[in-house]
Amino acid sequence: MKPEIIIALDFPTGKKALSFLELFEGEQLYVKVGMELFYSEGPSIVRAIKAGGHKVFLDLKLHDIPNTVKSSMKALASVGADMVNVHAAGGIRMMKAAVEGLEDGSTGAARPEIIAVTQLTSTDQETMNSELKINGELRDVVLAYARNAQEAGLDGVVCSAWESEEIHAGTSDSFITVTPGIRLLGDAKGDQSRVATPARAKEMGSDYLVIGRSITKADDPVKAYRICMEEINND
């Protein structure tokens, strides 16, 4: 199965985000609304994007006590996003509460997909061991978090493309991997550590490729998007 591209709408205002989407007239995209845009505009930005025929991954990375996460997910269920997420570091009980809240708030409609962040793609081995004081190999920790998310009833995880194949092997083929840190060849890594090109991410089994700066900061975003699509469509 070919992966699907999610464009990260990392813009400070709804006006800029919606103006960007106008460049793709007639296309139905899958986009990510993160904390900056959501905190600036609130739920209305998700509804405005959905009204344009696009799918939305609402990337708020909830991480709190189980009761708070449950009630927050119940509220978010009405926003209309197609996918939401939590931090796997919150543990199995918190993740189960997130699923319960999402289901409670999705009365009369299918609940959004829910995934868990394993380790941020800006985190490297040294940071995880030395600063976060998490022992072991980064890949092993990511896989353990993925298995916890699966046990909690989530649909998948956020990870780097480099862990996708191992996660599928350690969970199931239907357990989705959403992979940020995707860059076109030659683009700057920025603050990311574990990056991959669209073609390489496809080879490693990523289900969704979250691509931001390589498209949104390009001189011609539509052309950059087409290049990304060509990479994943080439057999």
- Sequence-separated (6 or more) residues with CB below 8 Å from residue 77: 101, 102, 103, 104, 105, 106, 111, 112
Choose among 155, 136, 137: nearest CA to 146. Answer: 155
Q: Quote the CA–CA distance of 106 and 8 in Å, as a whole number.
A: 25
Please pick, among 16, 50, 55, 61, the residue that the annotation labels catalytic. Answer: 61
Backbone φ and ψ of 30, nearest 5°: -110, 125
Q: Measured on CA atoms in the order 132, 147, 70, 8, is the torsion positive or negative?
A: positive
Q: Which amino acid is at 128?
A: M
Is 189 considered catalytic here? no
Q: Quote the CA–CA distance of 94 and 65 in Å, as a whole number.
A: 6
Q: Strand, coil or helix: what is 1?
A: coil
- What is the 3 state secondary structure string of 183-229? CCCCCCCCCCCCCECHHHHHHCCCCEEEECHHHHCCCCHHHHHHHHH
Show the tokens assigned to 179: 């992979």
Query: Active-site residues: which are they?
Result: 61
